[in-house]
Amino acid sequence: MIDLIAALLMAVAAVTSIVFTYLAVVEKNLIQAVVFSAVQSTMYALIYFLLMAPDIVLVYLPVGVGIYPAIILLLIKKTDKVDE
Amino acid sequence: MKVTDLVVAASIVALALLLSYAMFLGGIGPVPVRSELRTLALNYILLTYNPAKIIYSALAPEGVTAIVWDYRGLDTYFETAVMFLAIISVVALTHGCKVRIGLGKGGMSLIVKTTTRILMPLIVLAGVSITMHGWLTPGGGFQGGATIAVATVLALVTYSIDTLAKHGIRKKILLAMRSTGLIGIALTAVALLIIGLAVGVNAYIFQNQERIGSPLAFPAYFSGTPTGGSLLFYNLFEAFAVSAGLSLAIIVTSLREEEVKETLRGEGVE
């Protein structure tokens, strides 16, 4: 039963990550695109957690949600906020 | 959001679901049986902490850290070196740029600053805890270091680059910390080899416990608790290197236009 719940959660997280990846690619507003990308990272972290890989989760959370969006946002600040 | 966007997203999701269903049925290739533990995985699980077979064991209960820093230590060393190279190139791009105090507005409101002041020590503490339990529970040097670097990001965003510079978090110091970490990892890797050469016994690089033909070993227990031998040192130095390296990358990317432009112009004249 727990296996089934975990598998279902993983499927939901995987599908959500696909949607957010697509949104991050097509979004013209770069700041929103970074947020979509961070949501996708969170979904991946959830999948790793459910796959019983806590070591990867502990890397993925600070890097995927903290440092990577921060660096990208700092770089966007130096250029245009909207992709023409 | 347009209707076309939704249709495209839905079709991509449908494709992914169909592909995974085909994979589940075995249409793309044979699917490994779930109950079957592969021999390689079984060996790691049985040998990671096995005082009866020290010659094959890392004497650390955490399998992943044992694989990363003991069984496959050289791979991880070069990975760390590659990251060091990336950060060095980022620093080289902005070579000579200095933080000029008084350019920005001085960060966010008092509420955000106070909250950050409470949160930052907790984040650093969590990072240190992840590092210091790296050989006992999931986590390790990279995980802990990345968590500590998040505290720098928070401080940079809520306070300002000026405040960081005032408190001594500067490029040079971070680069020195980063180099110290990498040198520490390299020294830990060859420590037993140097001792072996001095004493006249066989030893290997990235040796942790006794191995075939070499009686040397790092101390595996500290007051009854397993330390994983060399894993303790690798985790500490890696956390040092990663936290300083990522903080450095963040600080260099947040340098302001005025600071960078001046240096670039100056170099062009020379």
Q: Which of A18, A21, A55 to mutate to test the interface with B (most CBs of B within 10 A)?
A: A55
Tell me which residues of chain A, numbers 34 to 53, contact chain B at a CB-CB cutoff of 8 Å: none
Supply the pTM of this predicted model. 0.86
Q: What is the pLDDT of residue B257?
A: 78
Kindly report, residue by residue over A6-49, the tens digit of the pLDDT.
989 999 999 999 989 998 998 889 999 999 999 999 999 999 99
B103 and B196 part of one domain = yes
Residue B78 to residues B46, B71, B236: CA-CA distances in angstroms?
Answer: 27, 14, 17
The residues that bridge with B7 in the sheet, in sequence order, are none
Instruction: Tell me whether residues A74 and B254 touch, CB distance under 8 A.
Output: yes
Rounded to a whole number, what is the distance in Å from the CA of B213 to chain A's nearest CA? 33
Q: What's the ipTM?
A: 0.86
- The CA distance from B255 to B146, in Å, is 21
A84 found inside a domain:
no
Rounded to a whole number, what is the distance in Å from the CA of A5 to chain B's nearest CA? 17
- The CA distance from B79 to B93, in Å, is 22
B79 and B18 part of one domain = no
pLDDT of B270 > 60? The answer is no
Residue in A15, A63, A74 closest to B146 by CB? A63
Residue with tokens 């980063």: B178
Total tally of structural domains belonging to chain B = 2
Could you list the residue range(s) of the whole structural domain that residue A6 is in? Answer: 2-78
Report yes or no: B89 and B97 within 8 Å, Cβ to Cβ.
no
- The CA distance from B180 to B176, in Å, is 6
- The CA distance from B75 to B73, in Å, is 5
B53 found inside a domain:
no
Could you list the residue range(s) of the whole structural domain that residue B200 is in? Answer: 72-269
A83 found inside a domain:
no
B81 and B141 part of one domain = yes
